[in-house]
Amino acid sequence: MAEDLIVRPLEKRDLPAALAIQSAAYPSFLVESADAFASRLDVPAQFCLAAVSNGELVAYLLAHGWLRQSPPPIGAILSPAASSEVLFIHDLAVGLNGRGLALGRRLVNRAFELAAKQKLARAELIAVEGAAAYWRSLGFAEVDVAAELKAKVAVYGQNARWMTREFAALSSS
């Protein structure tokens, strides 16, 4: 499968497949509506990507420019007028047919390249459902944050962690 894999921008036509992958990957309290999901594609500085094999969506990344230390609530429909201070990685999911191919790493690195061209140099995310170790393997680290941000992160589940990473060095690639 790896030979025929393409990475391209995630498009609205991918929504049914992406929503199916999301539903299989996350507990119901983290699954977002089609409208909320689609709104990430309308943010001007969006870096949403699809990994496609034989015409099938096998993984996706929802990533977009956003305000620093200000994660959107679960299910929020984002405004197309959103400001971009950082790259916010909202969601990364790999379907069964994409497992074991390092697609997450590939999608995240591509998002870093695209965001660096837009003068963004820092990524932020909320690692959910015990995924902090995975994000650490991609260079992210947990950081201490104010009580207000801790409260926002807690809504994402007991094991949710706020993580950040600088990526400006990747802009030369």
Yes or no: say if 66 and 88 are a contact pair by the CB < 8 Å rule.
Answer: yes
- How far is Cα 108 from Cα 101, in angstroms, rounded to an integer? 13
pLDDT of res. 4: 86
The pLDDT > 90 percentage for the chain reads 86
**In Å, how far from its chain's centre is CA 87?**
9
Please report the pLDDT score of residue 23 as a whole number. Answer: 96
Question: What integer pLDDT is reported at residue 171 of this predicted model?
Answer: 38
Contact (Cβ atoms closer than 8 angstroms) between residue 59 and residue 24: no
The Cα–Cα gap between 121 and 113 comes to: 10
CATH classification at residue 27: 3.40.630.30
pLDDT at 1 over 60: no
Average pLDDT over residues 23-42: 95
Return the pLDDT at 137.
96
> What per-residue confidence (pLDDT) applies to 98?
94
Q: pLDDT by residue (tens digit) across 145-167?
A: 999 999 999 999 999 999 999 99
By residue range, what is the domain housing residue 52?
Answer: 2-172
> Rounded mean pLDDT of 41-65?
94
Sign of CA dihedral 148, 149, 152, 154: negative
How many structural domains does the chain have? 1
Q: Which of 112, 129, 130 is nearest to 121 (CA)?
A: 112
Per-residue confidence at 173, pLDDT binned at 50, 70, 90?
A: very low
> pLDDT tens, 66-95?
999 999 999 999 988 878 899 999 999 999
